[in-house]
Structure 1
Amino acid sequence: MSLRSLRPHLPSRSRRRSSLTPTATLLASFAICAAQVSCSGGASSSGSTPPPTPPPTPTPTPQSLAVSAPGTSLLIGDTLQLTATSKYTDGSSHDVTSTAVWTVSSGAPATVSSGGLLGATSAGDFTVTATVGSLSATQAFHVATPRTTPGENGFNWASVNIQGMGYVTGLVIHPLAPYDIYIRTDVGGAYRFDRTRQQWIPLLDRYGRLESEIYGVESIAVDATDTNTVYIAAAHGRTLSGSNVQTPAEVLVSHDRGATWANTGLGAKSLYIGANDSYRGTTGERLVVDPSDPGVVYFASRQNGLWRGVRTTGDQFDWQPVSSSLPSPSISPGVTFVLFDKSGGTNSSGETLNLYAGVYGSGVYASTDAGSTWTQIASTVNPERAAIASDGALFVAFGGDEGATSGGVGRYSGGKWQDITPPGANAAFAGVTVDPANPRTVLAAANSNRKIYRSSDQGATWSAIPSATPDVYTPQYYPAGPGMWGNAALVIDPANSKRVWQTNGYGVLETEDITAASTQWTWQMNNLEELVVQKVIVPPVVTVPGTNTPGADLLSVVADMVGFRHASRDIVPAATIDSFAYVAQGTGIAYCASQTHNAVFVGWDETDVARPMSGITADNGLTWKHIPNTAPGTAGKIAMAADDPKKMVWAPYNASPVYTLDGGVVWNPAKSNGAPLPASWQLSNPWWNGDVLTADQVAPGTYYYFNNGDFYVSSDNGATWTNRTVAWPQDPHWVIQASIVPNPAKAGDVWMAFAPNSNQPWMYQLIHSSDGGKTFVPVTTLEYADFVAFGKGNDASTPFIYVHGRAPGDTADAIYKSEDTGATWTRISDPPRMQFGEINSLEGDMRTRDLVYVGQGGRGIVFGYGANSGITRPSSRHAR
């Protein structure tokens, strides 16, 4: 997609001049004044000297030049319009794109036209330079190879390019070539880094909604003897006890670098696991494989002590708790790390003799008999992460949860413990790493503010690592100083001792030379998509009215970063749709069906649920202004009437709905039978995101609303509501993710889907009403449907329908498409590769056939595109 900017005309600098010369003008003025009795207020001018003529205002001259773009990270085949802006000595700024001379760096994987249109031709990094007269400006860009996942029936799937953000809580690198890099996240699964393509490969997409808890990965480990074998510790397997659901800790193993996984049997022990709990990033790897005997694996739990697994048959392990001589705390974070020291040799069974474990609240413990007995070697109570040098020296980082301010670094070697905290480093520590090729080189990092220290003598002396600023390829929407929060893993790359990786609350950074006088960090975020997406909409805007700017590919509201206008699904957005101090969330977003460039969103500040986030746009999200009056509440869901964007209904979090007729200046209580319309139970938690409020897309002033089994309709702009008292085909009470989806081509044609909660083992059929919600009937051509959406069809009256669910005879969840209003269905995703386990939102594109988006709660946004979409991408299909 070509993103084009409007270029305002430069103001004329010519001035209208008098036909008189300056001297003649002055004489004429004096003569006129002298003929008067008085001048300038009546004082006599006889014999006075006229005031001097003020000097002419100097013509503004160009002072600086800047290059801007809708985003600086894009994919092969994309184009985007660059803008050159000159700032003048009078403080004004003007667009000089058309007069600038544009060039790209030598050998760049891109081209740039004389008008600043950039085209990405291959993967790589480069800079663009704009020159105007003696001024020049540059902008760095990154081009990545798009990664696609094959679907079915001509469809492919790919991620919308957002690049984050989310907490990457751990990183491990395999010690053998090709030195695979694996990361774990708190809610977004696990990834492997493709060093050749410089992008991340998601490893858990094959898991569906019934196993979605697996996307919280507590720890990750590799088999040091086999480059193909990797383990993860995650919640997997659901057990119901009344209305409560338990998801025990499981250790899973893959023998194909993460493409497929098998349980090892730990789940039967019902151990607690909490990948998104406190200390998730400051504590170390709780999972480790014996480097001498890969048939032995240890798991350090949060509340159930340290466990040892021994392989029995196939991928099954016999899991047992270790010796009682090691403390087994019952509160998190529990046992914070476990690791092996190969320098002590092995026992007669081939198992590594020396192990270490950190127990929060107790200290560091060592075993010299392959884990049979343990002895406390340090009483410092808050050990969190650790690393072993090739000579057997143990390095431990001490600290607390994210934001802790006290801690240190210790070394244990030759049976002696020594405090080696960097002098003056008054901080809690998290990451610690040792160079695999040199046991004397150690790095340690504070758990905030990117404070990293390096020692070349095992911690006897330290030097602080000075960082160059800014970082390279920082997504533009990251707030100032990103990467300063939640520092987690720190790892020296075994493939290159100067290369270092670090993870934090925003993602992954890497430097090519930690020894440089000023260390340059690069964000490695290609295809790392961990945003929790609450809602995706695709207003069918072709061109923004009054401009030549194409309509956005999509709009979204998300956790932490509020939301985005995605001008292109392949280009990282430059900005969020609202500003905030730390993290904030968008929860509801909608557009006006008849004036689709108008949209509105609501949300909340995650540091204070009472603080609203909001926005109204009349230009397809190019600019936003806040809702004038947010007194009714925060978050929840909002809808715009089909005929007038000033008419809206808002159902705030945990509050009764309200309506407005003037764009949100005055809100009035919505009523049913003379009483306030009840607050929806589905909106009683600010994180819940069921689509329980929407406008009919055709009928003026008509809305639909759902509250825990009650279906309401208003036809007077939300003022009064009628409870339809529907006879439901299935009882829909207590379903958090209930969705009301009107047909955009037919008034009163309403569809509903219910995605069961994790403690609801049953499934819900897709239901349909052709009478405005008076009656609903099940769609029997599907077994069930969790989400439903509409997209452009073969004609205007019959849009395509998309669902996430299951068709009769199928055995796994998938995305399906119907071209005949649900009579028949075609599967367009491939479940063994992708099941959309964290799906929160489904939305089709009414401008383009065979184009559908899926918003996920920890895996960003993916889109499926078929042959009729016209979308082509480079050949980069990864069949895994």
Structure 2
Amino acid sequence: MKLFSPIQYEYGNLKIGGGGFVTGITFHPTDNRTLYIRTDIGGIYRYDFDKNTWVYLASKVTAHDPAQTYPLALALDENDPDKLFFTCGDKHLNYLCVSSDKGENITQKPIPCNIHGNEVGRATGDRLLYKNGRLYFGSQTAGIIYSDDMGESWQYADLFGEKNISLIWSDSEGKLFIAGCSGEANSPDGVTRGHTLYYSTDGLKSFLPLTAPKPVRYEKATYYGFVPQRITGDSKYLYITFASSGEVFYGGMGAYACDTGSLSGGKVYRYRIENGVPVFNKDTTPADETPCGYSGISSNDEMILLSTVCRKKGGDIIYKSTDNGESWQIIMNGLDYSRFDWNIPYMKPRYNGGGNCVHWISDIKLSPFDCDKALFNTGTGLFMITGLTSGDVLIKPFCVGIEETVHLNVYTTPHGTNRVIDIIGDLGGFAFKDYDSECENSFANEKGDRYITCLNADFTLQRPEYIAATPRGNWTGRTKGGLILSKDCGTTWKRLSMPRGISKLIDDKLDNIEKPNVDSGWTAISADGKRILWAVAGGRGFSNKAVCYTDNEGESWQQSVFMDCKGNTAEEHNVKIFSDYYDSELFFAIAEIENLGLYISRDKSKTFKEVSIKTDIKCPRYAHYRLARQPDKSGVFWLANGINGLYRFEINDGSVQIENILPDDRIDCIGFGKGKDKLPAMYVTGNICGEYGFFISDDMGKSFARINNDCQQFGVINSICGDMREYGVFCLATGSHGLMFGRQKCRFVNHIGHYY
């Protein structure tokens, strides 16, 4: 194998806009051209005021060290707007990151605690402070730690044994500190939280309890007690928001913010500073009978903005107060009280059940430089409020440059209305006509209600307009998960009937799929487009005992039978199913056992027979391997397991030939596109000859050329696919920076859409 000189490529996004959870907003207190946001899976963004776009700061991050894409906390130096600090991690690799040029160049320093910016508690803060040359970090796992040498060494400040910190705050002089925590370490019974709010006046040497709401036993709540979410202050008061967990589905007592799935109650408390000590002043919680938490809060001497979070009926509310919280005026409740500019297509109410897509408002910030404006976060991007002083309030997405969606698979079509078919977490899927146009809506039913989180799609080379996909039903219940079919290249969809009555196992899985946000499975279509195969999931994994097929678009279903090498009924285990591009009778399935297994069907998926293959190909957990069918040959597919090598499989009449063409390298993703001559172009991501990157091969893996540089790495990569219509163009389904495409530099055209 030869590695040729790199080819210069440039990259752009197939624009979606926002799409993910922005977990925090940070204005510089004195410099009006320094503004950052942090996200849960997409790293840090800085706003470019000259170009009116957000700039992604994790382009240099590789899939093999993605810690920077999971930031938990961010801090600035109030005396130097060029300095940036943030903590990040994936629990395996955990860092303090430091920059002296607004994130253009970032130095990573190991930090002595586990961090994850995409786990419970990510929505609270702030947790990181820079005061008088010292960094303070309120961690998830080690309590409060601090450093006097920019993270070269750390010391611990004991907060009565509490390890999970929700926020830390300091006054302007750095003499008074306030800290919030989960209360787990001092729980009296493992269910009720201990005290959760403290202050220190001696540089964190000791702490004293600060008045906080007493625990309330809410119905269906798993844990009891209020955890501080956010803190703000003006010249007269401090204000702290609190939330109490609802039914906790994961995360234990560490689950105390909106991302636990539910909150049972909340409070807003007001405090005075008297003789350098905070003193409780008043409960200023708005009157609202609907259970919810309170989180986002921001104040100046003219007004306070406040948000509910996880409000159970009618969605979240944004309040405004001009009398220090004595009374509250609603400025957003659903689609009422304000005007909206839905400048991103999929966010429009008609694609969201007629309602407001805004949710998970855990942070809201008044601009320090324009009292008429504020920003607030959501689970689907960043929003701006204008007209706060005039009363003519306008709310609109503020997402130009933010691409924070998690893409699971991407496909390009050889012909048809839409060129790129995108399979995506949360938003389901998109069908793009070209690389420069926005998609009007993600995969939806005939009413425009969205499906969410597809796992895969399939189509044939002969009929690419005929596409099957496997989505979850959305959170509102307006769509149900299952198998959906498009006959117009992904523009419109219908949901097929469920294969009920075949077996109790399948019926139980289908019952689960009917619930919101449950994996529906994996699909494949025969080469002639006449048979659709569905490995029903109903949760994690695709059982070989739950594989069904239909020849009439779901009017009737039959079950596929899996046999072992001896001809007996195979034991139950997970499989992924695939069709051949040319032979309609040929299907195959990859088995997820100790090592990779293979089943082949030569009767159009009626029966799958295990093939004895002498190989030690490792099968990674949760099916994290990537498989691509070679588009110019029947019976040939390639597999990248993300561990060792790149494997070529060729299915013949009586045998399967397997070759590892890159035994000394690690390949994570593989895909094919239009080639120069007769052979298709092969695209891979991973390490070749010790170098990480994206690579192209024009000779089926005999040689490769790198097609990115060290500034073009974009974090987690879940799938790669070449364009089937144009040589040298390819797509990346990233888990960090949306859906991307690359072209050779001399041919690249990028149109930036301005949404506001």
TM-score bin (small chain)? 0.7 to 0.9
Of 153, 162, 176, the match for 1:354: 176
Looking at structure 2, the residues matched to 630 and 255 of structure 1 have their Cα atoms a distance apart, in angstroms, of: 59
In structure 2, the partner of 1:284 is 125
In structure 2, the partner of 1:872 is 749
Task: Give the residue type in structure 1 aligned to 2:61.
Answer: Y
In structure 2, the partner of 1:375 is 208
Task: Give the residue type in structure 1 aligned to 2:554.
Answer: G
Tell whether 2:107 aligns with 1:262: yes
- Partner SS for 2:29: coil
In structure 1, the partner of 2:189 is none
How far the C-alpha of 1:162 sits from its partner, in A, is: 0.7
Tell whether 2:372 aligns with 1:514: no
Residues 112-127 of structure 1: pairs in structure 2 closer than 5 A: none
- Partner SS for 2:638: strand
In structure 1, the partner of 2:160 is 327
In structure 2, the partner of 1:693 is 577
Q: Is the 8 A contact 2:10 2:744 kept in 1?
A: yes
Render the CA deviation track for 1:791-813: whole Å, top value 9, x for unaligned.
Answer: 00122x30110001122142xx2
How far the C-alpha of 1:510 sits from its partner, in A, is: 0.6
How far the C-alpha of 1:816 sits from its partner, in A, is: 0.3
In structure 2, the partner of 1:793 is 675
- Partner SS for 1:663: coil
Looking at structure 1, the residues matched to 20 and 6 of structure 2 have their Cα atoms a distance apart, in angstroms, of: 30
Task: Give the residue type in structure 1 aligned to 2:423.
Answer: V
In structure 2, the partner of 1:302 is 140
Q: Is the 8 A contact 1:163 1:475 kept in 2?
A: no
In structure 1, the partner of 2:252 is none
Of 399, 404, 422, the match for 2:263: 404
Of 624, 628, 632, the match for 1:741: 628
Looking at structure 2, the residues matched to 442 and 867 of structure 1 have their Cα atoms a distance apart, in angstroms, of: 49
How far the C-alpha of 1:486 sits from its partner, in A, is: 0.8
Q: Is the 8 A contact 1:393 1:413 kept in 2?
A: yes
Runs of at least 4 residues off by over 6 Å: 580-583
- Partner SS for 2:483: strand
Q: Is the 8 A contact 1:212 1:838 kept in 2?
A: yes
Of 858, 861, 867, the match for 2:739: 861
Cα distance change, pair 736–355 in 1 and its aligned pair in 2 (3 A): same
- Partner SS for 1:476: helix
Task: Give the residue type in structure 2 aligned to 1:520.
Answer: L
Of 344, 360, 370, the match for 1:486: 360
In structure 1, the partner of 2:559 is 669
Looking at structure 1, the residues matched to 633 and 200 of structure 2 have their Cα atoms a distance apart, in angstroms, of: 71
Cα distance change, pair 630–199 in 1 and its aligned pair in 2 (3 A): farther
Cα distance change, pair 737–862 in 1 and its aligned pair in 2 (3 A): same
In structure 2, the partner of 1:660 is 550
Larger radius of gyration between Structure 1 and Structure 2: 1
Cα distance change, pair 384–566 in 1 and its aligned pair in 2 (3 A): farther
Q: Is the 8 A contact 1:764 1:785 kept in 2?
A: yes
Looking at structure 2, the residues matched to 607 and 655 of structure 1 have their Cα atoms a distance apart, in angstroms, of: 25
Task: Give the residue type in structure 1 aligned to 2:324.
Answer: Q
Looking at structure 2, the residues matched to 451 and 173 of structure 1 have their Cα atoms a distance apart, in angstroms, of: 23
Q: Is the 8 A contact 1:263 1:316 kept in 2?
A: no
Cα distance change, pair 359–751 in 1 and its aligned pair in 2 (3 A): closer
Looking at structure 2, the residues matched to 498 and 679 of structure 1 have their Cα atoms a distance apart, in angstroms, of: 61
How far the C-alpha of 1:215 sits from its partner, in A, is: 2.2
Of 695, 698, 708, the match for 1:829: 708
Render the CA deviation track for 1:191-226: whole Å, top value 9, x for unaligned.
Answer: 112222222222223222222344222222212222
Of 820, 825, 841, the match for 2:699: 820
Tell whether 2:78 aligns with 1:224: yes
Looking at structure 1, the residues matched to 583 and 319 of structure 2 have their Cα atoms a distance apart, in angstroms, of: 64
Of 463, 478, 482, the match for 1:613: 482
In structure 2, the partner of 1:498 is 372
Alignment length (residue pairs) = 661
Render the CA deviation track for 1:283-335: whole Å, top value 9, x for unaligned.
Answer: 22111111xx1x31111123432112221xxx43321211x3x33335xxx32
In structure 1, the partner of 2:216 is none
Q: Is the 8 A contact 1:679 1:707 kept in 2?
A: no
Render the CA deviation track for 1:7-59: whole Å, top value 9, x for unaligned.
Answer: xxxxxxxxxxxxxxxxxxxxxxxxxxxxxxxxxxxxxxxxxxxxxxxxxxxxx
Looking at structure 2, the residues matched to 388 and 624 of structure 1 have their Cα atoms a distance apart, in angstroms, of: 47
Residues 642-791 of structure 1: pairs in structure 2 closer than 5 A: 642=527, 644-653=528-537, 654-656=542-544, 657-673=547-563, 680-681=573-574, 692-708=576-592, 709-728=596-615, 730-732=617-619, 734=621, 736-755=623-642, 763-772=643-652, 774-780=656-662, 783-791=665-673
Percent identity between the aligned chains? 21
Of 572, 591, 604, the match for 2:438: 572
How far the C-alpha of 1:390 sits from its partner, in A, is: 5.4
In structure 2, the partner of 1:184 is 38
Q: Is the 8 A contact 2:178 2:200 kept in 1?
A: yes
Q: Is the 8 A contact 2:618 2:641 kept in 1?
A: no
Looking at structure 2, the residues matched to 529 and 867 of structure 1 have their Cα atoms a distance apart, in angstroms, of: 22
Q: Is the 8 A contact 2:18 2:405 kept in 1?
A: yes
Task: Give the residue type in structure 1 aligned to 2:39.
Answer: T
**TM-score when normalising by structure 2:** 0.81
Cα distance change, pair 152–459 in 1 and its aligned pair in 2 (3 A): farther
Looking at structure 2, the residues matched to 583 and 231 of structure 1 have their Cα atoms a distance apart, in angstroms, of: 38
Of 425, 429, 432, the match for 1:563: 429
Looking at structure 2, the residues matched to 476 and 641 of structure 1 have their Cα atoms a distance apart, in angstroms, of: 32
Cα distance change, pair 675–214 in 1 and its aligned pair in 2 (3 A): farther
Cα distance change, pair 770–404 in 1 and its aligned pair in 2 (3 A): closer
Q: CA RMSD in A?
A: 2.8
How far the C-alpha of 1:565 sits from its partner, in A, is: 1.5
Looking at structure 1, the residues matched to 78 and 116 of structure 2 have their Cα atoms a distance apart, in angstroms, of: 26
Looking at structure 2, the residues matched to 260 and 208 of structure 1 have their Cα atoms a distance apart, in angstroms, of: 15
Task: Give the residue type in structure 2 aligned to 1:429.
Answer: Y
How far the C-alpha of 1:417 sits from its partner, in A, is: 1.6
Cα distance change, pair 676–574 in 1 and its aligned pair in 2 (3 A): farther
Residues 310-459 of structure 1: pairs in structure 2 closer than 5 A: 310-311=148-149, 315-322=150-157, 324=158, 326-330=159-163, 334-342=164-172, 345=173, 352-361=174-183, 362-380=195-213, 382-389=226-233, 391=235, 393-400=237-244, 401-402=257-258, 403-415=262-274, 416-426=279-289, 427-435=292-300, 439-447=301-309, 448=311, 449-459=315-325
Of 48, 53, 56, the match for 1:199: 53
- Partner SS for 2:390: coil
Looking at structure 1, the residues matched to 409 and 620 of structure 2 have their Cα atoms a distance apart, in angstroms, of: 22
Looking at structure 2, the residues matched to 678 and 787 of structure 1 have their Cα atoms a distance apart, in angstroms, of: 29
Looking at structure 2, the residues matched to 742 and 420 of structure 1 have their Cα atoms a distance apart, in angstroms, of: 63
Looking at structure 2, the residues matched to 626 and 453 of structure 1 have their Cα atoms a distance apart, in angstroms, of: 40
How far the C-alpha of 1:265 sits from its partner, in A, is: 3.5
Of 521, 525, 545, the match for 1:636: 521
In structure 2, the partner of 1:89 is none
How far the C-alpha of 1:262 sits from its partner, in A, is: 2.1
In structure 2, the partner of 1:598 is 466
Looking at structure 1, the residues matched to 530 and 570 of structure 2 have their Cα atoms a distance apart, in angstroms, of: 21
Task: Give the residue type in structure 2 aligned to 1:259.
Answer: E
How far the C-alpha of 1:697 sits from its partner, in A, is: 1.3
Q: Is the 8 A contact 1:781 1:822 kept in 2?
A: no
Q: Is the 8 A contact 1:187 1:275 kept in 2?
A: yes
**Which stretch has the larger CA shift, 393-402 or 380-389?**
380-389
**Which stretch has the larger CA shift, 736-745 or 402-411?**
402-411
